[in-house]
Amino acid sequence: MFGNWITKGLALACAGLLLAGCTDDVPTGAELSGLQEHGLTLSSLSEGATAQLLVTGLEELQGSAIGPDGALYVTAPLAGSIWRVDRSTGEVTLFASGLPARIPDPFFLGSGVVDVAFIGGTSYALVTGVGPDLEGDDVVGIYRVDGPHSFTVIADIGAFSIANPPATDFVVPTGFQYALDTLGGEFLVTDGHHNRVLRVTRAGEITELIAFGNVVPTGLDVRGRRVFLAQAGPIPHEPEDGKVVSFEPDSPIATEVASGAPLLVDVEFGPGGALFALSQGVWDGPFEGAPALPNTGALVRAIADGAFSVVTEGLDRPTSLEFIGNTAYIVTLTGEIWTIDLSHHSAWSPATSIEDAPPGAHDNFNTAFLDGCPFPSRDGKMFFIASTRPGGLGGIDIWVSIRASVNDPWGEPVNVGAPINSEFNDFCPTLAPDGHTFFFVSNRPGGLGGSDIYVTRLRDGKGFDAPQNLWRVNSAADEASPFPLHEPGVGPVLYFSSTRPGGFAPEAPDATVGDSDIYRSVALGRVFGPPELVPGVNSASEDGHPNVRRDGLEIFFFSNRPGDEGLGMSDIYAATRARTSDPWSIPVNLGPNVNSAAAESRPSLSWDGTTLYFGSTRPEGEGSTNSDVTTRQ
């Protein structure tokens, strides 16, 4: 949520974000600009997204947050203010003023109100570098914004820091805090000078959550119960020292996620669940604590091998990053806010048929017939599909491919037979994580409507039990794509889609069928309870075939909703959330690497969350529908 650039004289250089061990040497290297001039190879991976100017003319911006109203809020340390920015128009209005401002001398750049965060409808500001140890007389800590010109100090971080000094060397006793984020109704605060992350309650209780060596922790993002932290690295902020690490608050041992970009100042999750970081750019002095050189900053994305790919370069001293949908909002030291449209960026590799993706599959995995509704088992050794290929019992049958290990090609699919298949349509196969509970959909007689969800049990070496209709979940309309999940904090739930009336969009009073919507049913003992619409993911269009990552924090589904993002007849979308109790983010189209001008459907995520299988009618397939695959990049 915050980036840094501290420009201070040598006497206070160690108080700045960018310093590691202080020395008496003042670097005076030649003026350089551009990543390539410093021998960096990141630009060779550049994805070429272009930044567009949204706001200009403000003075010295630093931290940012998305408010509960969807607007962008940015801090202005020199003025002691917080601005509200309309993301659609760029209109700027003053949200709060009168917070402790930094001393105007550039010597004190980086102090004042440096970040903002929200809990519910209440905003909180992080204020640093304003205590007596830096010629100020204000409290270093978290301020609650009570009104446009009124504030309450809820946590005195400066006093805590003096009473609890860090293990690493320091010059400023009150520390130099940089980023403010929230976790479970509490705050996380990074201190780049004291090299640690603090946990702060709204009652003002402060504890040290995790401490580091000389890494200069900067920006934060929270994903579920896991914290992702940017590190600027020690002087001279070499690319290999610019890292993103993650840790669990209850077991604060940091794990490196990605490295290789100079002077990282923020980290955020963006479209498709991809992890992005903000590099302020190349550091070349002239003294410790100086900002990066102009126009050397970059938005980068973590890729599978633990490196970074450049999305956009040439940014001028960026300080903070936020995402809404497919749009990145970048705040800069120069008082500007830039947007980057990532609607054509993809966190996923170009989709291909399962036969063409390593380790491959039998030539008859996909056929000239309908082959869709893909679903892999938890252990990656069974793969279920629905197909109209010859050799079945009815119209659409369920088939399974087997392999001995995840390194082997998928075998030729075989029909699972009765009692799962019938002379009618049987599809949407779903094997629960326990490896035995099996859900599917059928329009066989005896159900409640067109197509119903059934459940059975796969016995080791004995086949399937007789299927049972989930009559508490089904309706007189069509149900599809059941997906069971043990949702953290909730327990067993069943996601599915249904065309029953009463969904997101109203139907005629006498309608018996509506458009497809996504529902969730919570288990009540041994049965699933009444289904409810899943908030935040449905639209007035067709939305269906949900699949949720095992931690409950990412959902995939198909939709034919209108808008600029849509690529074809139906596309695959994804939404995320930080906690299972939080609402889903605005759904994001997975882009042209996954979607096409045809119809994509039934996304199914592998247990490790790295591979996405789905059905597609794209013309390069063998039949009317094929099962395709993509992987996270």
Mean pLDDT of the 501-514 span: 75
Could you tell me the pTM of the whole model?
0.67
* pLDDT more than 90, % of the chain: 72
- Positive or negative, the CA dihedral 613, 614, 620, 621 is positive
**Domain hosting residue 290, numbered range:** 10-21+43-341
Say what the pLDDT of residue 66 is.
Answer: 96
Structure tokens at 630: 């993509």
Segment (H or E) for 231: strand 226-231
Residue 506 has what pLDDT?
79
107 located within any domain: yes
* pLDDT, tens digit, 9 for 90 and up, residues 149-190: 999 999 999 999 999 999 999 999 999 999 999 998 999 999
Final residue before a domain boundary, out of 341, 366, 394: 341
Domain final position from 341, 365, 390: 341
99 and 148 inside one domain? yes
Clarify whether residues 120 and 231 are in a common domain. yes
Q: How far is it, in rounded angstroms, from Cα 292 to Cα 333?
A: 11
**By mean pLDDT, which of 15-24, 75-84, 391-400, 560-569 is the weakest?**
15-24
Cα separation, 123 vs 116, whole angstroms: 7
Q: What is the pLDDT of residue 47?
A: 53
Whether 551 is covered by a domain: the verdict is: yes
Residue 17 and residue 176: Cα distance in Å, rounded?
Answer: 7
User: What is the rounded average pLDDT of the residues 386-398?
Assistant: 95
Question: Do the domain assignments include residue 37?
Answer: no
Q: Do 173 and 304 belong together in one domain? A: yes
Q: Do 324 and 236 sit in the same domain of this protein?
A: yes
Q: How far, CA to CA in Å, does 541 sit from each of 347, 558, 563? A: 25, 10, 11
Note whether 194 and 52 are same-domain residues: yes
CA pair distance 465, 459, nearest whole angstrom: 7
**15 pLDDT higher than 60:** no
Q: Is 12's pLDDT higher than 50?
A: no
The predicted-structure confidence for 209-260, as pLDDT tens digits, reads as follows 999 999 999 999 998 778 999 999 998 889 999 999 999 888 778 999 999 9
**Residue 54 domain-assigned (yes or no):** yes
Predicted pLDDT at 492: 96
Query: Could you tell me if residue 405 is inside a domain?
Result: yes
Tell me, yes or no, whether 617 lies in a domain: yes
Give the pLDDT confidence score for residue 414 in this predicted structure.
97
Q: Taking residues 335-355, report their average pLDDT.
A: 87
Question: Is pLDDT above 90 for 415?
Answer: yes
How sure is the predictor about 36, in pLDDT bands with cuts at 50, 70 and 90?
very low
CATH code for the domain in which residue 614 is found: 2.120.10.30
Same domain as 369, residue 273: no
Specify the pLDDT at position 42.
32
The pLDDT of residue 623 is 66
> For residue 34, is it within any domain?
no
- Judge whether residue 555 has pLDDT over 50: yes
Q: Are 367 and 623 in contact (CB under 8 A)?
A: yes
Q: Do 528 and 560 fall within a single domain?
A: yes
Residue 284 sits in the same domain as residue 327: yes
Distance CA 601, CA 613 (A): 9
CA distances in angstroms from 495 to 448, 521, 603, listed in the order given? 18, 6, 13
Cα-based torsion angle of the residue sequence 593, 594, 597, 601 in order, rounded to the nearest 10 degrees: 180
Question: Tokens 């509506």, residue?
Answer: 514
Are residue 295 and residue 428 in the same domain, yes or no? no
Burial 199-222 (b: 16+ CB within 10 A, else e): bbebeeebebbbbbeebbbbbbbb
Number of domains composing the chain? 2
298 and 374 share a domain?
no
Q: Is residue 32 part of a domain?
A: no
For the cut 70, the answer to whether the pLDDT of residue 17 exceeds it is: no
Q: Are 464 and 416 in contact (CB under 8 A)?
A: yes
Query: In this structure, are 421 and 365 located in the same domain?
Result: yes
% residues pLDDT > 70 (the chain):
89
Cβ atoms < 10 Å from Cβ of 460 = 7
Residue 336 and residue 474 in one domain: no
Domain boundary, last residue among 341, 363, 396: 341
